Amino acid sequence: MPWQPRDLMDTKREFVQLAMCEGANRRELCRRFGIGAKAAYALFKRYAQEGEAALVERSRRPHTSPLRTAGTLEAAVLELRQSHPAWGGRKLARRLIEMGHRDVPSPATITAILHRHGLINPEASQAAQHWQRFEHDTPNALWQIDFKGHFETAHGKCHPLTLLDDHSRFNLALQACQRPDTQSVRAHLVAVFERYGLPLRINADNGGPWGSPRRAEHGLSELSVWLIRQGIRISHSAPYHPQTNGKLERFHRSLKAEVLNGRSFLDLAHAQKAFEAWRDVYNHERPHDALALNTPVQRYCSSTRSYAAQLPEIEYGPDDRVLTVGWNGFIKFQGLKLRVSGALHRLPIAFRPDPHNDGCFDAFFCHHRFMRLDMNAATASN
């Protein structure tokens, strides 16, 4: 993926930030971004000397001055708030420091400035809450994926596809899709895998195109089968409990507040342009309360697991009973006719005997256990 003129600065910044992570494989990053090693190392050198000024012809950062007046600094607070109406005192204070301002007021003082200028209403104050959620210890241990509810453009519906790293809250994808189907998701996931590598696990909602363990297909949709063959573990949110993907739900709230509310879009391209501009701010500039006011890119590193377009052969153990799935997802095992998933048509699955329970078998597709069969009671369960 070579440098693109329309998002040159954003792409360079993301590339440099990922390359600076401890243990980052810079050669692999060059391959994923389509950048020559010579050009990349020249960029690293300039970035070390000039910082973000190395990414553009002329830095747009405000000039710093130890003699900056309180009135000028208050104007900077209001200007930044105007650019990001949903940001509160903590985010604004952190971002002003990062932009090079001296003697930045405390978050409480900035909040008072916003109140004084009528920029915080009582409803917004009441909605501000502190949340403490579980997070995985490392990037790429878990990604959360979903479609945000669709909205209308002048030329049809837009279904925003969102993908978030659990540990860092780094947004890996924010795509305006015409349809929430397998083909759209798979195409965008390939682009993400080529740039960032593969996660250990992806958690999705129930229903299409993700699949649902409670349905006859045991959660094995066409999309989940493809992901499992990539070596990715698949999990699903508990039914009627969207908080399982809580970080992504919170991301959707920010997307709605900072991009969608009060705006209309001509078409998908118009929406995508707005998504890309906000995604760069979210990942690289917007301080995150749950990250001690760091930005997501400061906690994210690319995965060491690279994407391969050629799917590996499916192999099972010597004690497994391997069967090929027939039409409509049916198989026959020890005289029983069982429905697994139509997405597994012509693919091998394995029945693995439970060494502790005679007559019980676990059904696997690659590494993914999707069903348990008790021959004593002749029942199958997820």
pLDDT tens, residue by residue, 235-244:
988 765 555 6
pTM for this predicted structure: 0.74
Q: What is the pLDDT of residue 202?
A: 96
Quickly state the pLDDT bin for 67 (edges 50, 70, 90). Answer: very low
In DSSP terms, which residues pair with 204 in a beta bridge? 236
Q: Is the pLDDT at 352 greater than 90, yes or no? A: yes
CB 373 within 8 A of CB 380: yes
| The pLDDT of residue 240 | 54
Q: What are phi and psi of 132, to 5 degrees?
A: -125, 115
> Which residue would you say has higher pLDDT here, 293 or 201?
201
Across the chain, mean pLDDT equals 85
The C-alpha atoms of residue 89 and residue 29 are separated, in whole angstroms, by 36
Instruction: Give the H or E element holding residue 363.
Output: strand 360-365
Tokens of 74: 């208050």
Calculate mean pLDDT across residues 98-125: 76
Q: Is the pLDDT of residue 124 over 60?
A: no
Residue type, 325: V
Please determine, for residue 222, whether its predicted confidence score (pLDDT) is greater than 70: yes
Q: What is the DSSP letter of 258?
A: I
Range 297-320 burial, b when 16+ CB lie within 10 A, else e: bbbbbbbebebeeeeeeeebeeeb
Judged by DSSP in three states, 171 sits in strand
- Please state the rounded mean pLDDT for residues 287-295: 87
